[in-house]
């Protein structure tokens, strides 16, 4: 079991080194902290959900988005991170100079990624004409976390899985509720 974890750790570090070697540039050094900051606490997605709540036609979508974000945060930040307790990648490389403040929570799963994918699945389901922009933002958020050396690739995959699963369950529950209402 220990060898398996070491192999995964090596793969994670090698991918981060590839990202560092092949993508670091002044534009990304400026842009990635901004993208990442938009995801702090899911703020960009919460703002979108609150905007949707304020428009009667889109209220249900806002509720579904907030529900997905809340459940994702509870599971990811509240439970999984504290069970796994994986240190962040920058702790393994003492010489690294972070472009953002060092996060104090654990690394797995990526909360920024989980919330981005939770919101993106809901929003892209209902706003098909904006789907590409929604997914670009979610993917940029995930990439920014690796670029900034605050998450490993496996943390990102864990965040994608968590956010997607939670939103799929929320969407399924919503469909069941709507189905039940029609049958009454």
SS3 string, 50-65, reads HHHHCCHHHHHHHHHH
CA 71 to chain centre: 13
Domain membership of residue 10 (yes or no) is no
pLDDT of residue 2: 63
Q: How many domains does the chain have?
A: 1
Domain membership of residue 142 (yes or no) is yes
Domain membership of residue 20 (yes or no) is no
What are the residues whose beta carbons fall under 8 Å from the beta carbon of 115, sequence distance 6 or more? 39, 42, 45, 69, 72, 73, 163
Domain membership of residue 40 (yes or no) is yes
Domain membership of residue 19 (yes or no) is no
Domain membership of residue 137 (yes or no) is yes
pLDDT of residue 156: 98
Q: What residues make up the domain containing 146?
A: 26-92+104-183
Taking the model in full, what pTM does it have? 0.91
Domain membership of residue 6 (yes or no) is no
Question: In which residue ranges of the chain is pLDDT below 70?
Answer: 1-2
Domain membership of residue 162 (yes or no) is yes
- Residue pair 174/122 in contact (Cβ under 8 Å)? The answer is no
Q: What is the DSSP string of 14-49?
A: HHHHHHHHHH--HHHHHHHHHHHHHTGGGHHHHHHH
């Amino acid at each position: 079991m220990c060898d398996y974890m070491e192999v995964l750790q090596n793969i994670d570090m090698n991918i981060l080194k590839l990202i560092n070697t092949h993508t670091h540039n002044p534009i990304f050094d400026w842009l990635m902290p901004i993208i990442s900051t938009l995801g702090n606490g899911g703020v960009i997605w919460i703002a979108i959900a609150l905007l949707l709540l304020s428009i009667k036609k889109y209220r249900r979508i806002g509720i579904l988005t907030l529900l997905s974000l809340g459940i994702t945060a509870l599971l990811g930040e509240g439970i999984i991170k504290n069970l796994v307790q994986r240190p962040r990648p920058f702790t393994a490389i003492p010489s690294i100079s972070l472009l953002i403040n060092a996060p104090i929570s654990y690394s797995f799963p990526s909360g920024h990624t989980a919330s981005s994918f939770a919101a993106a699945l809901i929003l892209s389901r209902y706003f098909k004409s904006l789907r590409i922009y929604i997914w670009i933002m979610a993917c940029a958020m995930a990439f920014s976390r690796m670029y900034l050396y605050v998450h490993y690739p496996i943390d990102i995959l864990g965040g994608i899985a968590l956010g997607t699963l939670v939103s799929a369950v929320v969407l399924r529950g919503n469909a069941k509720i709507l189905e039940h209402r029609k049958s009454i």
